[in-house]
Homo-oligomer: A and B are copies of this chain.
Amino acid sequence: MAEENVYLPVKKATAFMIDALLKMGVPQADAEIVADVLLASDLVGVRSHGIAHLKMYYDRMKQGLQQPVTRWDIVHETPTTAVVDGGNGMGMVVGHHSMKIAIDKARKMGLGAVAVRNSSHYGIAGYYATMAAREGMVGMSVTNAHPSIAPTFGVEPMLGTNPIAFSAPTDESFPFRFDAATSIAPRGKIEVASRAGEPIPAGWVIRKDGSLVTDSTNLIEEMDDCKAALLPIGGSGELMGGHKGYGLATVVEILSAAFQDGAFLSELHDTDHEGNIHPLRIGHFFLAINIESFLPLERFKKTAGDIVRELRESPKAPGEKRIYSAGEKADAISRRVAAEGIEIPPGLQKNLNALRAELDLTGHDLGF
């Protein structure tokens, strides 16, 4: 194990993830999907949701919180809509197939929407929205999650980080891609600060006493014990628009749960009210909009491209060199990671080495 960061080539990472998933009991085709979703996260620079999560999924499977074999099923269907039951399998497999159903319906009917019940953590929401953009469609995906965000004027973690992902093709080499938690900061950033012993900006997290936390020591534990909660985009109270972030997180909760008669809010803890562990029963919602049902695809792409270019070229604040459009940073990171490999810090090296030993995958040379 190295003392510093190691760069793991993308090919090696993919091969290792697939073999590890096979050893966990995930079927080949599903393992390829899961590895692709995790890799996509590392490629856009969201390292918390990439290969770093592999061991967490294994731990969850061992506890019986999710099934390695995903027995998903369409429980209700119309030409434009479907309700999918994920059978508490792998969220990425459920997500991938559900978005594919939405895309197929949109190709035939113009629009397609799929609500999902009994799923699990599905990785980055942006993956699924981008699936649609690659097919010349606009894609949206949202999911609920383990309670983390406090409502405006509240202090308890109630809503998941409830991300909103939206992707649209443009005439550039990469799509417009918005993918954001409805909290100000993702949980991953708190974990990173906590591990490094660094403070966090006041306003990201609220404590039960209403104070805004800056000391990150044991903060993840406090959040898991419901003694602290993430604040929604816009922050504490209503003055800076905190009610807007809270409202958006609620929109995501309704979309994710209400179309499929599913679990929500406090039901999305790993344990029930008696303290027994149970599957999360996460819900997702996918929407695909076939652009050709409105106008020629090339016209859409040109307008979307013109919009992001005009934004990027607008006057900068003094000292700022660049204005980005959503998806632009991800594209740059993606090219860098493909060339240089995935940055694996010492903690993650340890984590992956443990997985390699436990799954008897010592044939894989990860370079650490």
Contacts and interface: CB of A to CB of B under 8 A. Distances in A.
A115 B290 CA distance: 13
A265 interface: yes
B295 A265 contact: no
Nearest to A204: B240
Given A151-B311, A158-B310, A251 B166 contact: yes
B110 A250 contact: no
A264 interface: yes
Given A151-B311, A151-B314, A316-B155, A258 B79 contact: no
Interface in A290-328: 290-291, 293-295, 299-300, 303-304, 306-308, 310-312, 314-320, 322-326
A153 B265 contact: no
A213 to B, nearest CB: 13
A145 B261 CA distance: 37
A273 to B, nearest CB: 13
A262 B303 contact: yes
B264 A306 contact: yes
Interface in A262-293: 262, 264-266, 289-291, 293
A234 B306 CA distance: 25
Given A244-B233, A295-B76, A154 B258 contact: no
A303 B258 contact: yes
Interface in A236-263: 239-241, 243-245, 247-248, 250-251, 253-255, 257-262
Given A109-B79, A240-B235, A294-B81, A156 B303 contact: no
Contacts of A266: 310
A357 B78 CA distance: 56
A314 B226 CA distance: 12
B294 A260 contact: yes
A323 B109 contact: no
B184 A240 contact: yes
Interface in A178-210: 178, 180, 184-185, 201, 203, 206, 208-210
B261 A295 contact: yes
A293 B178 contact: no
Given A76-B294, A168-B254, A178 B247 contact: yes
Interface string A109-124: 1111101000000000
A41 interface: no
Given A81-B111, A254-B307, A295-B261, A316 B178 contact: no
A295 B245 CA distance: 28
B326 A247 contact: yes
Which of A234, A239, A253 neighbours the largest number of chain B CB atoms within 10 Å of its CB?
A: A234
Contacts of A300: 258-259, 261
A250 B325 contact: yes
12 contacts: A80-B110, A111-B113, A151-B314, A154-B314, A176-B254, A178-B251, A180-B241, A235-B240, A243-B326, A260-B295, A264-B307, A265-B311
Q: Which 8 A-B pairs have the closest CB atoms?
A: A80-B110, A210-B317, A111-B111, A153-B320, A258-B303, A178-B247, A81-B293, A247-B326
Interface of A: 76, 78-81, 83, 109-113, 115, 138, 150-156, 158-159, 164, 166, 168, 176, 178, 180, 184-185, 201, 203, 206, 208-210, 233-235, 239-241, 243-245, 247-248, 250-251, 253-255, 257-262, 264-266, 289-291, 293-295, 299-300, 303-304, 306-308, 310-312, 314-320, 322-326
